[in-house]
Amino acid sequence: MKIAIGADHAGYDLKEIVKPILQEKGYEFEDFGTNSTESTDYPDYAHPVANAVESGDCDFGVLICGTGNGVAITANKHQKIRAGLCWTPEIASLIRQHNDANVLCIPSRFISTEVALEILDTFLKTEFEGGRHGRRIGKMACM
């Protein structure tokens, strides 16, 4: 499995913690930046991550910013992206099971590193349930 990962300045430190953990667990990843805590614009990282998932170059995306909202809103502008903002492992599980989310958005300023890592682990290990949820996913796209 290959993960696209990106963050703005508020998410940079957490992104740098996540990368070796992904590697330890056997995941490939592509880092779309940023590369420092210097102020930057989250769409500059959210769009490339969303493009990588949308194109199939990566299986899932992980985006990190201060609230997680900016990257989620940006990623969800892409037709084939279902990005979900998570602040608990339970929500991570549900966005995979019920929404078939393919991009995880983490609010780095509002959760601990430990919780962020639990969320990531849950997201990557949880399968989509299908069934009635598949019908609902089919209705998400704009016509």
> Contact at 8 Å (CB) between 107 and 128?
no
User: Which residues are designated catalytic?
Assistant: 65, 98
Alpha-carbon torsion (68, 38, 31, 15), positive or negative: negative
Domains of the chain listed by start with CATH number: 2-138 (3.40.1400.10)
pLDDT value for 29: 98
Q: Give the pLDDT score at 143.
A: 61
Question: What is the pTM for the complete model shown?
Answer: 0.95
Give phi and psi for 26, each to the nearest 5. 90, 10
- Amino acid residing at 109: R
Tens place of pLDDT for every residue, the chain, 143 residues? 999 999 999 999 999 999 999 999 999 999 999 999 999 999 999 999 999 999 999 999 999 999 999 999 999 999 999 999 999 999 999 999 999 999 999 999 999 999 999 999 999 999 998 778 877 888 777 76
